[in-house]
């Protein structure tokens, strides 16, 4: 609900299409979702690097990092997670407007919250990437030792332990990092972007 009053939307003089023409690729949000430790950040950052090396404008918005700044006032209740995802959705929309291939790495455990972000964007601007790594594998990795803390009851409401994760019903892409390497996942995403003409074969040549 918009609380501000007496506000007027200001149209810009540079259109999204004009930016796309200048940059030579079509922007979108690659929305990674999955359990903690499933591989969202690792894959998103590797894809960002690959795109950057090809001269493409890309940027990762990462859960932990955003919670240090923009969303430092939010915790992990369902309501706070909902607000977290709502804000990131709005930020991602601005990045897409600016022409950037935007990668977001948030658990985003609630289907309704992810669908709300999808609805903010044009149909082909939201690419849901389900990092479907089994809980047991994420827990075994326990990169940040958070599962161990959650199992000991030192963290309450940890996703996959005592807070829910609602899997996407129709993600554009699914990746199980217990079944494929990081390089395979990066290739899978780059191939998708190329097949759907977000980037072209010309973009595929390294620029560096």
Ligand X SMILES: Nc1ncnc2c1ncn2[C@@H]1O[C@H](COP(=O)(O)OP(=O)(O)O)[C@@H](O)[C@H]1O
Ligand Y SMILES: Nc1ncnc2c1ncn2[C@@H]1O[C@H](COP(=O)(O)OS(=O)(=O)O)[C@@H](OP(=O)(O)O)[C@H]1O
Residue 50 engages ligand X in binding (rule: CB under 6 A): no
Q: What's the Rg (C-alpha) of the chain?
A: 18
- Segment contacting ligand Y (CB under 6 A): 7-15, 20-28, 79-87, 198-206? 79-87
* Burial zone of 111 (CB within 10 Å; 0-12 exposed, 13-18 middle, 19+ buried): middle
Reduced to 3 states (helix: H, G, I; strand: E, B; else coil), residue 58 is strand
d(CA 208, CA 202): 14
Quick one: which of 15, 65, 144, 167 contacts ligand Y (CB under 6 A)? 144
Residue 171 engages ligand X in binding (rule: CB under 6 A): no
d(CA 149, CA 2): 39
Site track for ligand Y across 13-52, x = CB under 6 A: -----------------------xx---x-----------
Residue 163 engages ligand X in binding (rule: CB under 6 A): no
33 closest CA partner among 75, 85, 92: 85
8 Å CB contact between 58 and 103: yes
Site track for ligand Y across 82-101, x = CB under 6 A: --xx----------------
Quick one: which of 25, 27, 28, 42 contacts ligand X (CB under 6 A)? 42
- Segment contacting ligand Y (CB under 6 A): 8-16, 95-103, 156-164, 189-197? 156-164
Taking the mean position of all CA atoms in its chain, how far away is CA 53?
20
Of the residues 108, 181, 185, 206, only one is catalytic, namely 108
d(CA 147, CA 96): 34
Catalytic residue positions, numbered: 108
Write out the residues near ligand Y by the rule CB under 6 A. Answer: 36-37, 41, 63-64, 67, 76, 81, 84-85, 106-109, 144, 146, 155, 157-159, 163
């Amino acid at each position: 609900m918009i609380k501000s009053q007496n506000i007027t939307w200001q149209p810009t003089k540079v259109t999204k299409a004009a930016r796309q023409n200048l940059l030579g690729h079509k922007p979108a949000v690659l929305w990674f979702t999955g359990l903690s430790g499933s591989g969202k950040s690792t894959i998103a950052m590797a894809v960002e690097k690959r795109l950057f090396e090809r001269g493409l404008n890309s940027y990762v918005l990462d859960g932990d990092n955003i919670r240090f700044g923009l969303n430092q006032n939010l915790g992990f209740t369902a309501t706070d997670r909902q607000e977290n995802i709502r804000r990131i959705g709005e930020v991602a929309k601005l990045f897409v407007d600016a022409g950037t291939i935007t990668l977001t790495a948030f658990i985003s455990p609630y289907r309704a919250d992810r669908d709300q972000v999808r609805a903010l964007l044009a149909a082909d601007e939201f690419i849901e990437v389900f990092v479907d790594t089994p809980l047991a594998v994420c827990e075994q990795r326990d990169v940040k030792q958070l599962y161990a803390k959650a199992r000991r009851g030192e963290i309450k409401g940890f996703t996959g332990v005592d807070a829910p994760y609602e899997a996407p019903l129709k993600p554009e892409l699914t990746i199980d990092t217990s079944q494929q390497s990081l390089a395979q996942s990066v290739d899978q995403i780059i191939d998708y972007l190329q097949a759907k003409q977000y980037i072209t074969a010309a973009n595929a040549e390294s620029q560096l």
